[in-house]
Structure 1
């Protein structure tokens, strides 16, 4: 893509930032662009937030709706057949948006009917239905969390770290708007229906704008960037975070070419296929796999040489370990059987390890493999980032050795105790931060009699 094209996009957004009207910018945009790649949008935002313009991700987030309107009807589409298959994360994501849109429409109709005098005698039934639809719509939290925990880490690995920051910030604003509306709903019939309608429409406007941003911008970036293996990883980890209203009807299993040496060799003999790499004799190679591929242009023989398998560490051999001996396998089992959720972030602020004390779906702080290797700052929503930075600075500097906190989780209905501890080596040098999370609800339920039958 041309640097000039990205520069034009950057200039247009700078004009918006400095107060230019959307109409004047739109006219210039239409003059220079017929179709714009979502990748270019990502690069443009990255340039804005990492240049000396003084524009922060909060500024970009504030202009997010203006940006989206600018690109409406101009985003270049991407044709990826996999994405239309049942169970593919993109198909699931779009189906959820359809279901969430439907819930919004139903809530609007119910509010309208609830306000009609002739329906006053059905007030309790209508209110019950309204709360049910709000509960369904509230499942958008799962939709957003999957996006933030599964899509964003892979985007960052490909260098697209600016769009996740902006979108996560807007997600949290939308969550807050929904909470405001639900607070009014919970006070009905004593609260004002007009206020509820206003609060709900404020939420719905931003929510529907986000649907456009997800489908016309975010997914386009992902479809241009992610590999099939990336999507398979997302699909395999999605259950841990749940879904919004609908669930995949079947597991997505894409067609994968099998590089079977014997089958390919037999097929090559029968059909007399010609190797794709002319002059290269692959028929006698024992180290390569071959595959005959039928295409509209004819048959091709593809040669694939697999990577040599790395020698696996001996997981069962005993090693000197602390005050005794443990194998890697035993150490892993011990860590996974502790009644704690453990996370380790190394001295370079990289999320390096978590244990499997409970299934991901039951975790207090959900962790999945996609997040490994991610900078710890990117693992948290923008609204808590300052707190995270402060904790890490206290531990890194030695001003604190531990930081403890506890809270009552409404989602889980239990008390949670969280500890952040500085990890230092024998020389006292900082090596990272260990977070351990514990469900302490059982402690409140202990029998006052300390003598128990064993």
Structure 2
């Protein structure tokens, strides 16, 4: 920082001034100041930091616009260095998360398996590959990377279950910045797999990519367990944790699974009962039960967001193409997408709201599926925009059709 602050004065500093001091320290990091120098100021002037203060920093205010992978790595590594050994522990945070089956217990169980994979396999096989890039060593490293990509489920549960609840409590920093790092890690694993599967003798390229993955995955484990999970434990209610536990199966688990079903010592969580009331529409009358079953039996996934870009509904068929959890309901659609694709969503919605477009189509490969994604601007009888309908379908079976079928099988 540009000026020194008397330590005794800082200890008595009011919360607003302390927050400004912390933000200045973070700004110094982002502006490229020496990490050791900023860390020394942090240790001398701040000493310890609480999870509430970290949440209140709203990192998203400090990291804006387009930013390179390298710069984001540098900033996040600097954040981690700043916090190490400085986070105050709160005994009240520890309790139910130590119970097998609690979502945090499961996340940390996965992290232990990830660490074992990194230490006992990936690091060992990388050293062997560095000594000799034989076909056997290439295949061993490729197998490790394939196993490690299971981390996508771990990150997806975090992004689709933990982040939405944090946002409900006004905590947005992890949503954007941690998700960015998750995507960098995913991309790093994919690139390492590609380089190994199509190995052309670029040994240094493979080594650099795998080392990047090792470093970033280890750093993310630290951030999750020392910042993200304590932050969530301080804010989420038991009902919210129960809902997260119940919805985790929708996405899946990484390298392991919950030790058991978590059953907190609490009153039974009432199921969301479906009213048997009826809805009268222009072309018919359906009960709420019939309407929900009808929508869930459509051979497509549909999602509706309102005029304020808030997710209000999604169908829940047997074979969803993209993971959806109930935590997205009430969340803005921008925060349901990875940061690097948000601009596409915003451009599309801007055109719909301005009346420049009524539809937009995309088609992409997703694993073994060819997915057709359609967006429709929903307008009322006065042509006023009231929301957007997303329609997603696996069209592989349709593309495979040939000839005609005129009778029952």
Residue number in structure 1 paired with 2:204: 194
Residue number in structure 1 paired with 2:316: 356
Residue number in structure 1 paired with 2:227: 217
1:301-321 CA distance string (max 9 Å, x none): xxxxxxxx9xx885244x431
Contact kept? 2:145, 2:193, Cα under 8 Å? yes
Residue number in structure 1 paired with 2:263: 253
Residue number in structure 2 paired with 1:397: 354
In structure 2, the CA distance between the partners of 1:237 and 1:57, relative to structure 1 (3 Å rule), is: farther
Q: Does 1:145 align with 2:153?
A: no
Residue number in structure 2 paired with 1:94: 108
1:69-121 CA distance string (max 9 Å, x none): 1010111223311111111111111121121122122112123234556x96x
Contact kept? 2:361, 2:372, Cα under 8 Å? yes
- Distance (whole Å) between structure 2 residues aligned to residue 245 and residue 255 of structure 1: 28
- Distance (whole Å) between structure 1 residues aligned to residue 395 and residue 250 of structure 2: 22
- Distance (whole Å) between structure 2 residues aligned to residue 422 and residue 177 of structure 1: 36
Q: Does 1:4 align with 2:17?
A: yes
Please state how far the C-alpha of 1:195 moved relative to its aligned partner: 2.6
- Output the aligned Cα RMSD: 2.3
SS of the aligned residue for 2:58 comes to: helix
Please state how far the C-alpha of 1:348 moved relative to its aligned partner: 1.0
- Distance (whole Å) between structure 2 residues aligned to residue 174 and residue 28 of structure 1: 31
Residue number in structure 2 paired with 1:82: 96
Give the alignment partner of residue 56 of structure 1, picking from 58, 64, 73. Answer: 64
- Distance (whole Å) between structure 2 residues aligned to residue 44 and residue 423 of structure 1: 38
Contact kept? 1:185, 1:191, Cα under 8 Å? no
- Distance (whole Å) between structure 1 residues aligned to residue 165 and residue 130 of structure 2: 46
Contact kept? 1:78, 1:224, Cα under 8 Å? no
Give me the TM-score of the superposition, normalised by structure 2. Answer: 0.88
Q: Does 1:68 align with 2:86?
A: no
- Distance (whole Å) between structure 2 residues aligned to residue 57 and residue 230 of structure 1: 32
1:230-257 CA distance string (max 9 Å, x none): 2111111111111111111211112226
- Distance (whole Å) between structure 1 residues aligned to residue 63 and residue 399 of structure 2: 49
- Distance (whole Å) between structure 1 residues aligned to residue 265 and residue 385 of structure 2: 47
Rg comparison, structure with higher value: 1
Please state how far the C-alpha of 1:132 moved relative to its aligned partner: 2.5
In structure 2, the CA distance between the partners of 1:234 and 1:313, relative to structure 1 (3 Å rule), is: closer
- Distance (whole Å) between structure 2 residues aligned to residue 246 and residue 433 of structure 1: 38
Q: How does 1:11-50 map to 2 (within 5 A)?
A: 11-45=24-58, 49=61
- Distance (whole Å) between structure 1 residues aligned to residue 275 and residue 29 of structure 2: 59
- Distance (whole Å) between structure 1 residues aligned to residue 382 and residue 298 of structure 2: 28
- Distance (whole Å) between structure 2 residues aligned to residue 197 and residue 421 of structure 1: 45
Please state how far the C-alpha of 1:379 moved relative to its aligned partner: 0.6
Contact kept? 2:106, 2:259, Cα under 8 Å? no
Residue number in structure 2 paired with 1:109: 124
Q: How does 1:123-138 map to 2 (within 5 A)?
A: 123-124=135-136, 126-138=137-149
Please state how far the C-alpha of 1:32 moved relative to its aligned partner: 2.2
Residue number in structure 1 paired with 2:7: none
Contact kept? 2:365, 2:371, Cα under 8 Å? yes
Contact kept? 2:145, 2:192, Cα under 8 Å? no
Contact kept? 2:114, 2:255, Cα under 8 Å? yes
Question: Unpaired segments of 5 or more residues in structure 2?
Answer: 1-13
1:410-450 CA distance string (max 9 Å, x none): 2xx01111111011111111110011111111112213244
Please state how far the C-alpha of 1:453 moved relative to its aligned partner: 4.4
SS of the aligned residue for 1:367 comes to: coil
- Distance (whole Å) between structure 1 residues aligned to residue 274 and residue 33 of structure 2: 61
1:43-81 CA distance string (max 9 Å, x none): 1135x71xxxx8526569562221111010111223311
Contact kept? 1:58, 1:166, Cα under 8 Å? no
More RCO (CA 8 Å, sep 6+): 2
- Distance (whole Å) between structure 2 residues aligned to residue 201 and residue 162 of structure 1: 26
In structure 2, the CA distance between the partners of 1:417 and 1:83, relative to structure 1 (3 Å rule), is: same
- Distance (whole Å) between structure 2 residues aligned to residue 86 and residue 342 of structure 1: 35
- Distance (whole Å) between structure 1 residues aligned to residue 45 and residue 66 of structure 2: 27
Give me the TM-score of the superposition, normalised by structure 1. Answer: 0.80
SS of the aligned residue for 1:356 comes to: coil
SS of the aligned residue for 2:87 comes to: coil
